[in-house]
Every structure is written in C-alpha cells, then in structure tokens.
A and B are shown apart, each in its own frame.
Chain A
C-alpha cells in the first residue's frame, strides 16, 4: 500500500478545483480517554509486556493478526455488528499493551473481549452462545468439539474462565470502555464532502477494517485513521477530493500532513 503514496505532504492537496462550499466545522471527535491509549510505533514495540517474556515484535504481530481473524470470524458467527467486532478487537489490542501474550491465552482473552464488547455496544450475546461458538471455532479441525463443549464440566470450566477473564480485562483496561472508531468520522466526512461515489466509501471502509487488524488503532486516533483511509481510497480509485479555497479536505480532520502521511503509510 505504501507504494501508492508519494512522500511529499504537498501532494495531499491533490488536485485543486473540485470545490465544496460546505466545509465548515471540524469533524474531530473530542478526546475522552482519561488514559492515553495512543503510542508511537517504536514505543509500542519497545515496551510490550510480551517482549519481556521473550516474544519479539514479529511474533506479536502474528499473534495480533491471529486473534483479529478469530474475532472477525467469531463476531460474524455471533451476528454482531461490525462496530461490536471493532470494539472487541480494540479491547484486545489494549489488553496486550499492558499484559503479556505468554501468560494470557489470546483466544480466551479474545472471547472475553467479544462477550464484553457485546454488552458495551448494546448488542449483547448470551454467555452460553459466546462460549459454544468460540470453543467450536477454536477447535475447528476437531469435529467432536461441538459435542464436547456441551458437557457440563468443560462448559463450566470455560464459563469460569470467561467470567474471571472479564474482570481481568476490565481492570487491565482501567474500566475505560469508551472506544471510538473511525467509522463515524468516516461516514460524516463522506456525507459532508458530498462524495457520492459509493466505491470510495466502500474502499475507505475496507481500509479502516484492514487497519483494525494492525497496531494502527494504538498509534492513531480514529479521525486520523478515517482521514488516512479516505485519502488512500481516493488515491486508489483516482478520485478527486474537494478543496475549498485554502482549506484542504483533510484539514477538516484536524490532522497535519505529517500525521496523515504517518497514518496511511501504515495502512
């Protein structure tokens, strides 16, 4: 993806001309986080608790991808909205900012995060369903798993794990349950700039989803990611983005060219 992008921030202005008169007010969401959840990549790599247990950043990246894939799959099987999946993924990312992979099974933590995200996003799924679906998914290759989890002993053990895990996740997250996603600023921007191309929205949306699987949401705030995704999508589809006099569209997101560059080069 990075190959698509010129390094020169001036290029971010794209082609002037497609003007839009409705560029008023900012799209930035206020920062509500009582705790800072955003760190530069280098710091993330350097301070990872997993690293101290001998898990290098390549391996952690692999772990991250694997629980994201798992959560996406789990969420779809539980039929929760994408926002709930995104929240579960973010909880998981943040959990491993403060806890080690070596001592916390990532699929169990992911299951807990999905259960919790369901409640937090007002799309709850009953614990029993979460456990059944998660267990079968984790043991996909084992056809007997489906029946095994229905046995009381195994089910009870899994249930206790999830319930204790819920408390562990909550305390690790410092009870900070407000997760803001790039979806809202993305949709707002697309509406605001009157970008009617359905394709642009779709491609930008996909970039946001892709970004979710990386440490991107630990490095950049949602509206920065949204801005990066729109820019990248426009570039990808060779669509002109509107400009209003001196103000480029991305200024609406309150990002600097440098931040924007940083965002999309990671995408």
Chain B
C-alpha cells in the first residue's frame, strides 16, 4: 500500500560535490538516475532540532508542492535518509547576485527587462496562490542552465490572506524591506514582495544594492532620501503603524536623477513598485501588464542572457557559452563589445577562472559522515517498532 519510493529515494541520486551550507544543512549536487538530470539536494539534519522536523523545512515542502511554475524552483522529491531529511531541487547554475556582481556582464535594458519579467512572473504565481515569499533578494533569484530565473528559498514564505493573521516584520534582508515592515507592520500583504522586487529592479539598473541602510532606522532614512518623506495623503495608515517614528521632512529628488540611464517606462514602473502605501503599490500581475514590458526593446530571451562565472563546477557539462555551438556573439552587440574590452577574460574563459574556491575542500566528506547520533537505546527500539510499525528504511538507517 505504502509506496516505497522513499526507500529507494537515497539510491535514486548519485551524490556529487558540496554546493555549500544552506540555512539548515548542507546542499550538494547529485545526479538523478531516474531522469538523468542534475539536481541539488538539501540535506536537513533532523536530530539537531528538538521540535522535530523544522518548521522552515515543512513550510518549504508544503508551499513548493503547491507552487508549480517555470519561474519558481521545482521541488522534485523529498525523502528521509539516515537522520536527515533530503529535499531534492532542480539544479540551479547561478543566481542574480552573481550576475549583478559580475563586471564582465553588461546588462542591456532588454536583459534587465527579461530578469524583471521572470521575477514578476514567479511572484505573480506565488501571490495568486496566496503565498508571500518574504525573502526576495538577488541571491534567492536562481538562474537555471537555460537562463530561466526562478524564485528560490521559500524558508521564510507564508500563506497570507486571512485578515486577522499576524506576521513577524522581521523578514527580508534589510535592504529589501518595505517601509511598512520597517515601521513594524504585522498585517502586511503581497506589497512587501513587490517592494523587494522594486529594489532588485533598481539594483539591476545600478549594478549595486539600491538602498543600503545600516540599521532599520537608517534604512528608512535611505528610503526617504530617495523618494522623499511620505506625506499623510500619500500613505494615510503610516502614522498608526506600531513602530512609526516621525522623520524630518525631505523632499523627493527627481527619480530620473537616481536612474539617469533608465527609460521613462522603466521609471514609471519603478515608481509604482515603490509606492509608499502598500495598498497603492502595483501588484505583480499589474506590473507584468505595464507598458514597460510591451514597448521596445523586447525582453531578451532567457537562453540568450549572459551567464556569470559559475559558483561550482562539478559534473555539469561545460556551459553552453563555452561550447562552440553557442558562440558569444549570440548576445546583443553591446555585450560583445563590453567583453572585448577585456581581451583576456572573454566570456568562455571567464567561466573557468573563479570556480575553485567553494567546492574543492568539502567535496569528499559530504554524505559520508557516519551518523553518530545515538538517539535511543536498542531496547527502546523494539518498543517503537511495535508501537509505530516503522518502515524498513527507518529500521535500517538506525543500524547504519
């Protein structure tokens, strides 16, 4: 009756190198022998958490099973192994932070539009399903080997929509936090994700984080410096927020002065994503329908976007960029020009030069660590077995 797919779970994947330490465990690369796909396996230690399976893991599993979209990371499988829970995701080659940081990549207006469109599509799907991401930032926007941007890391995500449900305002990395969160709002909605997406939009245009506050108050200061202190008429509910403090009035500089290179359409969309009053802020769906996305230049096709130097090189075949089939000239002329400024570090070669750091050291040990959690005495186990009818894989993992 019970599908024993979990039993074969561990055997289905051939473990590769470590990709680094996640919020609650190691992430490693693996090969899915069933589909021949490269996957990323997030290993969550169960023994560590005295309250059973950690709520962030449960959240991520629950929400990602609900969210199926080309612009949201796919949770392929979940299985327990030894004293760990393994979450199997599609493998993502890079993330938007690496793109923004990579000075060898010139982001054309069409590229920026493409990234924003993919980001907003993923977000619109989340919001349609009443899910708030609550942790949007460039390094949670993952990029697949075919250039698709996908929302990842749903460990802070929550279902919203029940009007009386209160949330914590301690979400998002500070630089992406909306003013209502900074003022301590506990009943917020999808606007918080839109604000963060606006910050990412700005970051794509500027190639540096837009509002880099050093504390919550400083963050608000930075926001008001950029957009002016909100007036009561702009945001009527502001003064009744729990942590509201009055700021000295600063007038808004022209948005144009902050983003000298942006088009009118881009500025218009940006200003709507940065509306102070969350109720007046544009929604993800409305943003996708904004004229910015329908006017020239058209968004760059995902597979033509230039990929940054990869974070980890393992069993992955060389990226398309390096292969002769897809020469660098496929990119818009502007990019080729930029690359040619650095004759030594042109696209393909660049991929190889910064891969060494993260993978080398930890590769050998991942997954081979003996599970030495003693757990409970042997005598207790038979009792357990009787009571709960443990499955085979629970049984043998305790003898490993």
Q: Residues on A close to B: CB < 8 A?
A: 32, 34, 47, 49, 97-100, 103-105, 108-109, 115-116, 119-120, 122, 124, 126-127, 157, 160-168, 170-172, 174-178
Which residues of the other chain, B, contact A104 by a CB distance below 8 angstroms? 387-389
Which residues of the other chain, B, contact A115 by a CB distance below 8 angstroms? 52
Judge if B172 is at the interface, Cβ distance under 8 Å.
Answer: no
Judge if B1 is at the interface, Cβ distance under 8 Å.
Answer: yes
Enumerate 11 A-B pairs (CB-CB under 8 Å) in ascending A order.
Answer: A99-B1, A104-B388, A104-B389, A116-B53, A116-B58, A120-B58, A122-B165, A161-B387, A162-B52, A163-B52, A168-B394
Chain B: which residue is nearest A115 at the CB level?
B52
Return A194 CB to nearest CB of chain B, in Å. Answer: 19
Q: Residues on B close to A: CB < 8 A?
A: 1-3, 5-6, 46, 50-53, 55, 58, 61-62, 65-66, 78-80, 158-159, 165, 375-376, 380, 383-384, 387-391, 393-394
Return A115 CB to nearest CB of chain B, in Å. Answer: 7
Return B379 CB to nearest CB of chain A, in Å. Answer: 11
Return B391 CB to nearest CB of chain A, in Å. Answer: 6
Return A248 CB to nearest CB of chain B, in Å. Answer: 28
- Bound complex: CA of A161 vs CA of B6, how far in Å? 20
Please tell me if the beta carbons of A157 and B380 are within 8 angstroms of each other in the complex.
yes
Extra contacts, 12 of them, besides A120-B58, A177-B61 (Cβ < 8 A), are A97-B1, A99-B1, A105-B387, A105-B388, A120-B62, A124-B51, A166-B53, A167-B46, A167-B53, A168-B388, A168-B389, A170-B80
A-B contact count (CB 8 A): 92
Please tell me if the beta carbons of B65 and A175 are within 8 angstroms of each other in the complex.
yes
- Bound complex: CA of A178 vs CA of B62, how far in Å? 6
- Bound complex: CA of A115 vs CA of B58, how far in Å? 12
- Bound complex: CA of A109 vs CA of B387, how far in Å? 10
Contact for B391 among A160, A171, A178, CB less than 8 A:
A171
Please tell me if the beta carbons of A127 and B2 are within 8 angstroms of each other in the complex.
no
- Chain A at the B interface: SS class: helix
Which residues of the other chain, A, contact B6 by a CB distance below 8 angstroms? 171
Which residues of the other chain, B, contact A178 by a CB distance below 8 angstroms? 62, 65-66
Please tell me if the beta carbons of B384 and A164 are within 8 angstroms of each other in the complex.
yes
Which residues of the other chain, B, contact A161 by a CB distance below 8 angstroms? 384, 387-388
- Bound complex: CA of A176 vs CA of B46, how far in Å? 18
- Bound complex: CA of A105 vs CA of B385, how far in Å? 11
Which residues of the other chain, B, contact A105 by a CB distance below 8 angstroms? 387-388
Which residues of the other chain, A, contact B53 by a CB distance below 8 angstroms? 116, 119, 166-167, 170
Chain A: which residue is nearest B375 at the CB level?
A160
Which residues of the other chain, A, contact B78 by a CB distance below 8 angstroms? 175
- Bound complex: CA of A122 vs CA of B162, how far in Å? 12
Please tell me if the beta carbons of A157 and B383 are within 8 angstroms of each other in the complex.
yes
The 6 closest A-B CB pairs, nearest first, are A103-B389, A177-B62, A175-B78, A166-B52, A119-B55, A98-B2
- Bound complex: CA of A178 vs CA of B65, how far in Å? 8
Contact for A168 among B3, B158, B159, B390, CB less than 8 A:
B390
- Bound complex: CA of A86 vs CA of B89, how far in Å? 30
A177-B390 contact in complex given A127-B52, A163-B52, C-beta closer than 8 Å: no
Please tell me if the beta carbons of A127 and B387 are within 8 angstroms of each other in the complex.
no
Return A98 CB to nearest CB of chain B, in Å. Answer: 5
Please tell me if the beta carbons of A32 and B65 are within 8 angstroms of each other in the complex.
yes
Chain B: which residue is nearest A123 at the CB level?
B165
Which residues of the other chain, A, contact B46 by a CB distance below 8 angstroms? 167
Contact for B389 among A99, A120, A127, CB less than 8 A:
A99
